Structure 1
Amino acid sequence: MADEIEYEALSPNAGLMVNMFAGSLAGITEHAVMFPIDSIKTRMQVFTTSPAAIYSGVGNAFTRISSTEGMRALWRGVSSVILGAGPAHAVHFGAYEAIKELAGGNEAGNQVVATAAAGACATVASDALMNPFDVIKQRMQVHNSEFRSVWTCARTVYAQEGFGAFYISYPTTLTMTVPFTAAQFTVYEHVKKILNPTNSYSPLTHVFAGGVSGAVAGAITTPLDVAKTLLQTRGTTDDQQIRHARGMVDAFRIIWQRDGLRGFGRGLTPRVLTFMPSNALCWLSYEFFKAAIRD
């Protein structure tokens, strides 16, 4: 690969299919690599009275899960992510690049509004595809999950709770991921332009900008992620109040009643630890695959 490439100029010229395929590969890479930390985050967010499922921190969770259930337990549900992340990220990045170009986000200067709008619109579309897979993933991640197969989990949830169970958290997911994505893309583009104003090929720039943007976006949206986890795993608990939660408002009420303000920060550390490297890897993979495919 040449030392100097008009790297960022690839966005408007590479074509929709290139952007979508690059996004698909980046999404699978991102989620698969950081999946064990995501599993720990899910378990720390679930409200339970079982001492075996209460963890004091990331290190404590990792040690106890790996020693009592085996390392494979930390990867339970990864197949659901791989199945969903490919098409969801393809739509996400394809829509992002198309809308950003249409809104003038590739023009000179920091086009914050265009970039944020493109990121938000891309999220609405991709989450519609990913939400059912995310529900299945979290059902498989919880402590003492009965599921070892994506298809078994999907069939059981559908039979016992109906199709709506796969989308009970969708409004909460959008409420979380639209600002998450808007913040992520805005911070990413801003940091990238500061560090790499010439738009030359710079993997370190994409890694750093991706990591910073992921950490910021992940931290500020953690309260909504706690609510999303409560809704997506409600069918795994015997707690009737949680089991009959009907949406984000109910979830927030339960979190406040059970744990107060502290409850909205459940899983903050593993969430940030997940999004810093995974976002950095995602952006590095996306930009690399996009350039490689076009070449």
Structure 2
Amino acid sequence: MQMYNSPYRGVLECMRCIWKQEGAKAFYRSYTTQLTMNVPFQALHFITYEYLQEMLNPHRLYNPSSHMISGALAGAVAAAATTPLDVCKTLLNTQETLTLHSVSPGRAHISGMAHAFRTVYRLGGLPAYFKGVQARVIYQMPSTAISWSVYEFFKYVITEHRLKRLRMQRDGE
């Protein structure tokens, strides 16, 4: 469905055609790349968030603006840094025939992350690994800002509720 001029009218039709033409294995073609991308993305995301919280909110108080800013910037850093992996994952997922034939005439499909990395490089050199970086960063920034804000809000509410209960127990005795 991500391909330009996709021949499919919807997700279910796309799934049926892929299942019929390529089998179950096609649905897991980029699984290794997805896992490889998620580990560094999450590591950079958490490290950057914690670093920014240390700078913006060193006392670790509930501060929605610092959580949103730190979350947005952490998502932006992680998204930008892992864009090359995302480009390769998308290439593995889409298996665009025009791309395949322009790089490797007669080649049936791109198989594996290493082949995807070589193909991307052949298509456009180092800049090709960062195609779509702005869109990815713009998508991640609000998403991670909202996620961290919601997480910190519920952490605050749960902690305050527990502290209130402990105070009531202490004062009631």
Using the size of structure 2 for normalisation, the TM-score is 0.78
CA distance in 1, matches of 2:9, 2:147: 27
Instruction: Please give the secondary structure, in 2, of the residue aligned with 1:208.
Output: helix
1:229-244 to 2 correspondences below 5 Å? 229-234=90-95, 236-238=96-98, 239-240=100-101, 241=104, 243-244=108-109
The one-letter code of the counterpart of 2:60 is: N
1:275 aligns with: 140
What's the CA shift for 1:228?
A: 0.6
1:29-108 to 2 correspondences below 5 Å? none
What's the CA shift for 1:279?
A: 1.5
2:67 aligns with: 206
Instruction: Please give the secondary structure, in 2, of the residue aligned with 1:141.
Output: coil
Structure 1 residues without counterparts, runs of 5 or longer:
1-139
Query: Alignment identity in percent?
Result: 47
What's the CA shift for 1:291?
A: 5.5
What's the CA shift for 1:195?
A: 1.8
Instruction: Please give the secondary structure, in 1, of the residue aligned with 2:71.
Output: helix
What's the CA shift for 1:290?
A: 5.7
CA distance in 2, matches of 1:274, 1:250: 27
Within the candidate set 245, 248, 253, 2:113 is matched to 248
Q: Does 1:264 align with 2:129?
A: yes
Offset from partner CA, 1:66-125 (integer Å, 9 cap, x none) = xxxxxxxxxxxxxxxxxxxxxxxxxxxxxxxxxxxxxxxxxxxxxxxxxxxxxxxxxxxx
What's the CA shift for 1:208?
A: 0.5
Instruction: Please give the secondary structure, in 2, of the residue aligned with 1:274.
Output: helix
Q: Does 1:170 align with 2:31?
A: yes
Label 1:243 to 1:224 Cα distance change in 2 as closer, same or farther (>3 A).
Answer: farther
Is the CA contact (8 Å cut-off) linking 2:67 and 2:145 kept in structure 1? yes
Instruction: Please give the secondary structure, in 1, of the residue aligned with 2:110.
Output: coil
Q: Does 1:195 align with 2:60?
A: no
1:185 aligns with: 46
Label 1:218 to 1:243 Cα distance change in 2 as closer, same or farther (>3 A).
Answer: farther
What's the CA shift for 1:211?
A: 0.9
Q: Output the aligned Cα RMSD.
A: 2.3
**Which structure is larger by alpha-carbon Rg, 1 or 2?**
2
CA distance in 2, matches of 1:186, 1:210: 11
